[in-house]
Structure 1
Amino acid sequence: MNEDRESPSRVRVAVVFGGRNSEHAVSVMSAGSVLDVIDRSKYEVIPIGIAQDGRWVLASGTQSYAIESGRLPVVDDSGTALALPGDSGTLIALEPGEIPQALGRVDVVFPLLHGPYGEDGTIQGLLEMAGVRYVGSGVLASAVGMDKVYMKVVLQAAGLPVGPYVVVRDRDWRLDRGRVLKEIEELGWPVFVKPSRAGSSHGISKAHDPESLEAAIELAREHDPKVLVEAAIVGREVECAVLESPGDAAPGASVPGEVLVAGGQDFYDFEAKYHPGQMTLQAPADIPAEVAETLRSMAVRAFEALGCEGLSRVDFFYTPSGELIVNEINTMPGFTSTSVAPQLWAASGLPYAGLVDRLLQLALHRSAGLR
């Protein structure tokens, strides 16, 4: 920190990570990758962890950002406690028994938070209230992108194809379970059961019959009382990253990439995503050129339908009949150097460090407040 303060002309960036949800470890890993490549000659970096109990702390020098001996990383909550007052962009250090000390104004926040209480519009709302610029989508786009049910509603309204689904709301599951199960059976078997507002494949399972369905719904409900049940779609999983362009230019789309699960999993689950050797990404995907262009165009349409900013990743199914179906959009996708979205941009000619810089510059050059 002392070295950083000797160059006040640098942009002050708060990299915020962790959070109080099941994607805590993924967020920590994303932050570690960004902190490794961010240009310290250009940016003064303040790493801020949100502990699993919600406390904000200044990250210590011993903070681990990687999976070690099979253990997922967590925020080291022993650092100095921090607060961001709601009427300014000034970070306040809170030492026990001492007068709060200001760390200074933050120019931009990089909220590397995935899942509820981070990716869902909550921290975006806090930053809007504080008048601080930040990387990524705003409150509405973040909230809609996090809730898979409303995401599908918006995508359908924009004329984009999504697969058949049933919503299992808490009240209906408790009071009218028989009707809900009948609706789901009409989707056919198998089905995928997901928490509506979670990510990184937490709480997702595949149900092959009525006997396994109820257990799958209860598993999803451990993460979210609202559950999404989707008909299984036979097809290849192809993904595309979208990046906001400077000024009034249209957003740009990366080359599409195909996810290939190598670890024997039945689907692209948490282990396949984040444990070494469990998946590979073929980028560009081996699909016809005209299909790739259509997919890229659809990805941009999805980005614009939600009103996204910064970066998003749009996931598709490419069926044997040649149909493209939107699976979901992620407004703050996994952001380690080996995550899908950064890999797609690297394959498109924008390396990871350049992507980090581009996102920070986009955030710095957009106005705070309503846009």
Structure 2
Amino acid sequence: MEKRTIGILFGGASSEHDVSLMSATSVLENIDREKYDVIMVGITRDGRWMRYTGDVKKLIDHSWEEDSGNLPAFLSPDRSVHGLVTVRDGQMEITRLDAVFPVMHGRFAEDGSMQGLCDLAGIPCVGPGVCSSAICMDKEYTHIVLDAAGIKTSDWFCVRKGEVPSLLDLEVKIAVKLGGFPVFVKPCNAGSSVGVSKVKTSDDLEEAMMLAFQHDQKILIERAMVGKEVEVAVMGNDSPEASVHVGEIVPKLEFYDYNSKYYDDTADLYLPARISDEETQLIRQTAVKAFKALGCRGLARVDFFLLPDGSCVLNEPNTLPGFTKISMYPKLFIDSGLSYPEIIDRLITLAIEAQ
């Protein structure tokens, strides 16, 4: 069978740049090179695109950026090109791509931006499309869609940077709408727990809001739920399926923060989760329902709180979840019987089928 040419994108001008480098390293080390010709494209923090042909191991320490073989490159929105344009010695070279896998997280990656560029170019892109990606990235709109679909989420309200109420008014609103403290304060458009704070008293509210506003022009204030943190992976297009098991996360700190997810051992992970079969099925079914309601395709990891009464509250969907060696999405489908290369292969195939 003829090899397909796949563009693997990594890095990006987002606060989750480093996570992308870790995820992309895992994908590049596991993609089936007998089946795919891989074109690596790195995007720096300041948004420069470069075609990279060096050692995959250089991604982690950022030394890939200094590789002497790097060449300026970009995805052309011209559909007749259908691929990557590389600039070499003042001349433009075209590499036709069968699909793009943006192994990137956060803004300009999973918010619909990259998906829109691929749509313009006519190139299949791994993961949900423009509208779904944008909705799932923006926590306010995620809540609106899930609420309309009858999927339970935590109580919430949104605050825009130019319309911040007084602290007294905020405290009243938190008491009335959220039942009081503790609450979570989050940027609406960020992932990997970047800019997120758990606020136990009004004394810490202003500082938490200032942190969240560093990452977005609007923030979400949510009721802090008391329950088990569980995650499930979903894969598919028209007939999506959830992973056989659910994963459970037990943070050793206040919550499952950025460092816990990617750098240290301040969380215990259980696979399968320590929950009943009935609770597992509830989580799996609700995840697939949310996947469809949000218009997802390809993949998503869906995070929940499982409450003491056996009900579940959807925390958030992730349309391009972490793919590091310890990330829950690949671990859940490996647990379901797929190898890491098979997971990558299925996601690429789903992207091409959805085109």
Give the TM-score category using the shorter length. Answer: over 0.9
Pairing 1:166-315 to 2, within 5 Å after superposition: 166-173=157-164, 178-186=168-176, 187=178, 188-244=180-236, 250-254=239-243, 255-261=245-251, 264-315=252-303
SS at match of 1:341: helix
The verdict on how the C-alpha distance between 1:87 and 1:169 changes in structure 2, with shifts beyond 3 A counting, is: same
Which of 103, 117, 120 aligns to 2:111? It is 120
Q: Which residue of 1 aligns with 2:348?
A: 360
Q: Which residue of 1 aligns with 2:154?
A: 163
Counterpart among 21, 33, 37 of residue 14 in structure 2: 21
Equivalent residue for 1:152? 143
- Tell me the amino acid that sits aligned with residue 362 of structure 1: L
| 1:192-220 Cα shifts (integer Å, max 9, x gaps) | 11110000111011111111001000000
> Structure 2 matches for 1:98-113, cutoff 5 A?
98-113=89-104
> Does the Cα contact within 8 Å between 1:92 and 1:100 map onto a contact in 2?
no
CA distance in 1, matches of 2:330, 2:281: 19
State the secondary structure of the residue aligned to 1:237. strand
Which amino acid is 2:130 matched to?
V
Amino acid at match of 2:187: P
Is this contact kept in 1: 2:29–2:56, CA < 8 A? no
Letter in 2 for 1:203: G
Indicate which of 307, 327, 349 corresponds to 1:339: 327
SS of alignment partner, residue 354 of structure 2: coil
Quote the Cα distance in structure 1 between the aligned partners of 2:346 and 2:266.
Answer: 29
Where in structure 1 are there 5+ consecutive unaligned residues? 1-6
Q: Once the 2 structures are TM-superposed, how far is the Cα of residue 338 of structure 1 from its aligned partner?
A: 1.7
Q: Kindly report which structure 2 residues correspond to 1:121-140, keeping only aligned pairs within 5 A, or say none.
A: 121-140=112-131
CA contact (8 A) 2:9 2:40 kept: yes
Distance 2:42 2:48 in 1: 8
8 Å contact 1:90–1:102 — kept in the other structure?
A: no
Residues 286 and 66 (structure 1 numbering): CA distance in 2 closer, same or farther, change over 3 Å? farther
SS at match of 1:40: coil
Gap change, CA 1:181 and 1:81, over 3 Å in 2: farther
AA partner of residue 41 (structure 2): I
CA contact (8 A) 1:205 1:216 kept: yes
Query: Structure 2 length normalisation: TM-score?
Result: 0.93
| Alpha-carbon distance between aligned partners in 1 of 2:212 and 2:98, rounded to the nearest angstrom | 38
Contact 2:3 2:36 in 1 (8 A): yes
- Structure 2 unpaired stretches of 5+: none
Q: Residues 241 and 344 of structure 1 are in contact (CA less than 8 Å); yes or no, is this contact kept in structure 2?
A: yes
CA drift at 1:280: 3.2
CA contact (8 A) 2:28 2:56 kept: no
Choose which of 13, 30, 37 in structure 2 pairs with 1:44.
Answer: 37
The match for 1:3 is: none
3-state SS, counterpart of residue 65 of structure 2: coil
Deviations 1:318-370 (A, max 9, x none): 11121210001111111113201111111111221210111011112222xxx
Residue 50 of structure 2 contacts residue 72 of structure 2 at CA under 8 Å; is this kept in 1? yes
- Aligned equivalents of 1:211, 1:74: Cα separation in 2: 42
Query: Which amino acid in 1 is paired with 2:28?
Result: L
CA distance in structure 2 between the aligned counterparts of 1:326 and 1:77, rounded to whole angstroms: 42
* CA distance in 2 between partners of 1:54 and 1:202 (Å): 20
Deviations 1:288-327 (A, max 9, x none): 1111111110000000001101110111101112121000
Please state whether the residue corresponding to 1:16 is helix, strand or coil.
strand
Whole-angstrom distance in 2 between the partners of 1:149 and 1:74:
37
